[in-house]
């Protein structure tokens, strides 16, 4: 039987996902074989090393309960690596409470001058208690910085991100709005329309969540419309502002319109 490969103090157990830039593994270490997520850059690949170092630098500055935690980093036989908390949560749908946790994570991320730039369901991990942890910081960038390269999922990206423009926090609010729309309605708002949002065309109008889900009520219509505004100037300018509108919408409740 082949001996499992080791990277520094970690034993590789099984690959996670299909990442191309950074190989991602489930790994274990220590006498208790504690499991972690280990991200690797290919040996002698300067581009991968730079991207991994970028993500590592971003995560090293963040410390909030709804963000995946950087545990360790180093280099082993020419391969750069970093270890992150492994979220063992159930494969369960997001709840409104999880969306609020996402907003709390964004308050912290934005306070450090960072745009996440890749908010999508795959990067919103739920632990065994059902709490959310924001992951996927490989495409994050400082306020005003241009794109780092290919990244993001078009159906969740803001028009300005699709056009390759410099980003600010309002790009994250657009992506969060797409997540909220999907949470409320069960469908993504821009399936089949992502390419249109990359052009200068007038964006096709979105139906309101209340129009798609009988009995949902209109409490979240205004919030999703503002988050998903094609022009960033029409969106919220801070995560605290989004939190305020979200809490008001939740207070109104999910009920049939009068």
What are the extents of the domains in the chain?
Answer: 6-85, 96-252
Read off the pLDDT band of 177 (50, 70, 90): very high
- Work out the average pLDDT over 85-97: 88
CATH superfamily of 6-85: Phosphorylase Kinase; domain 1 (3.30.200.20)
Torsions phi, psi for 113 (to 5 deg): 75, 30
CATH architecture of 96-252: Orthogonal Bundle (1.10)
| pLDDT at site 1 | 39
Mean predicted confidence (pLDDT) in 41-68: 93
Q: Residue 211: which pLDDT band, with cuts at 50, 70 and 90?
A: very high
Residue 200: pLDDT band with limits 50, 70, 90: very low
Confidence check: pLDDT of 197 > 60? no
Residue 6 CA to its chain's centroid (Å): 29
The pLDDT of residue 257 is 40
The active-site residue, picked from 118, 221, 234, 247, is 118
- Cβ atoms of residues 35 and 16 within 8 Å: no
Judged against a pLDDT cut of 50, whether residue 234 lies above it is answered with yes
User: Does residue 36 have a pLDDT over 90?
Assistant: yes
Tell me the range of 38-52, 87-101, 176-190 where mean pLDDT is highest. Answer: 176-190
Say how far apart CA 237 and CA 217 lie, in whole Å.
26
Clarify whether 131 is annotated catalytic: no
pTM of the model: 0.89
């Amino acid at each position: 039987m082949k001996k499992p490969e080791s990277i520094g103090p970690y034993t590789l157990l099984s690959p996670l996902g299909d990442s191309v830039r950074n190989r991602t593994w489930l790994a274990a270490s220590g006498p208790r074989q504690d499991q972690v997520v280990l991200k690797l850059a290919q040996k002698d690949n300067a581009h991968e090393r730079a991207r991994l170092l970028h993500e590592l630098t971003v995560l090293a500055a963040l410390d909030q309960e709804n963000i995946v935690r950087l545990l360790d980093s180093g280099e082993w036989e020419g391969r750069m690596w970093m270890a992150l908390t492994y979220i063992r949560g159930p494969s369960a749908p997001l709840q409104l409470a999880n969306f609020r946790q996402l907003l709390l994570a964004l308050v912290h991320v934005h306070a450090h001058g960072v745009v996440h730039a890749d908010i999508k369901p795959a990067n919103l991990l739920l632990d065994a208690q059902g709490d959310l942890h924001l992951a996927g910081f490989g495409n994050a960038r400082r306020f005003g910085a241009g794109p780092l390269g290919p990244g993001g999922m078009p159906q969740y990206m803001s028009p300005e991100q699709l056009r390759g423009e410099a980003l600010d926090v309002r790009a994250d609010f657009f992506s969060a709005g797409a997540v909220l729309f999907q949470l409320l309605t069960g469908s993504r708002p821009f399936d089949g329309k992502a390419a249109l949002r990359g052009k200068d065309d007038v964006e096709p109008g979105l139906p309101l969540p209340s129009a798609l889900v009988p009995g949902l009520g209109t409490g979240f219509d205004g919030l999703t419309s503002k988050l998903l505004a094609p022009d960033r100037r029409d969106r919220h300018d801070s995560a605290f502002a989004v939190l305020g509108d979200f809490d008001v919408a939740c207070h109104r409740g999910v009920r049939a319109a009068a």
